[in-house]
A and B are shown apart, each in its own frame.
Chain A
């Protein structure tokens, strides 16, 4: 059964880079023909899509965060990652990784989420 598990630092200082990883088990990230994505839930903005990537390397990201986010995929480790640079308090949120099929736009499976707090 497919399972997604996020990992992250918990706390990150303002202006630093937040790095998150999603480990995928139960399916191969390189053969599933899926988009793998990052979304977040914050008190001020609710649920927000951040970025998505396909095993081919095709990726999309949110216009509002584009200059600060980078999504990557590592098929050898069956995981994908997100970097958010120059974080502020507004980046405090629960970050989720999720999966959707290549053709469908909805997120069929989500991880449990990892809480990130930006603070000193």
Chain B
């Protein structure tokens, strides 16, 4: 099973500043990585798929990059509504099973 590792566990960023979230895969997953945003009381929301393609209605301050084993989600100018836990997800080796990272909690400093 592919293990997805996210860093850091918690990220504190001032409003308007850049937030950089990292995700590593234990094996090559090409560009088959998605990122999801999970706000309290809501279901996960797709932010990025194909490592770098923004999902529908996602603002351009969200940027995904990477391929192979190293991936990054960047929020260029943090807004209050971006406070959430962000999960990366590989769907390259599927089946047997897609796997998710442990999540990065983004909070306002």
Which A positions have Cβ atoms within 8 angstroms of B?
4, 41, 46-49, 60, 62-63, 96, 98, 104-113
Cβ contact within 8 Å between A107 and B44: yes
Q: B49 interface residue, CB < 8 Å from A?
A: yes
Cβ contact within 8 Å between A106 and B43: no
CA distance A48 to B99 in the complex (A): 7
* Minimum CB distance partner of B46 in chain A: A108
Secondary structure of the B contact surface, majority rule: loop
Q: B101 interface residue, CB < 8 Å from A?
A: yes
Contact with A along B76-109 (1 / 0, CB 8 A): 0000000000010101101111111111000000
Decide yes or no: A105 and B98 within 8 Å by CB, A46-B87, A46-B103 being known contacts.
yes
Q: Can you offer 14 A-B residue contacts whose CB atoms are under 8 A? A: A46-B87, A47-B87, A47-B89, A47-B100, A49-B97, A49-B100, A96-B44, A98-B44, A107-B36, A108-B55, A110-B45, A112-B42, A112-B43, A113-B43
A-B pairs with lowest CB-CB distance, top 8: A105-B91, A106-B34, A110-B43, A47-B100, A106-B49, A112-B43, A110-B44, A46-B102
Q: Which residues of B contact A106 (CB under 8 A)?
A: 34, 46, 49, 89, 91
Which B positions have Cβ atoms within 8 angstroms of A?
32, 34, 36, 38, 41-46, 49, 55, 87, 89, 91-92, 94-103
Task: Beyond the given A46-B87, A47-B100, A108-B49, please list 18 additional residue pairs across the A-B interface where CB-CB is below 8 A.
Answer: A46-B101, A47-B36, A47-B103, A49-B97, A49-B98, A60-B95, A62-B97, A98-B43, A104-B49, A104-B91, A105-B94, A107-B36, A107-B46, A108-B46, A110-B46, A112-B41, A112-B42, A113-B43
CA distance A106 to B42 in the complex (A): 18
CA distance A4 to B45 in the complex (A): 13
Cβ contact within 8 Å between B100 and A46: yes
Q: Which residues of B contact A111 (CB under 8 A)?
A: 43
CA distance A105 to B51 in the complex (A): 12
Q: Which residues of B contact A96 (CB under 8 A)?
A: 43-44
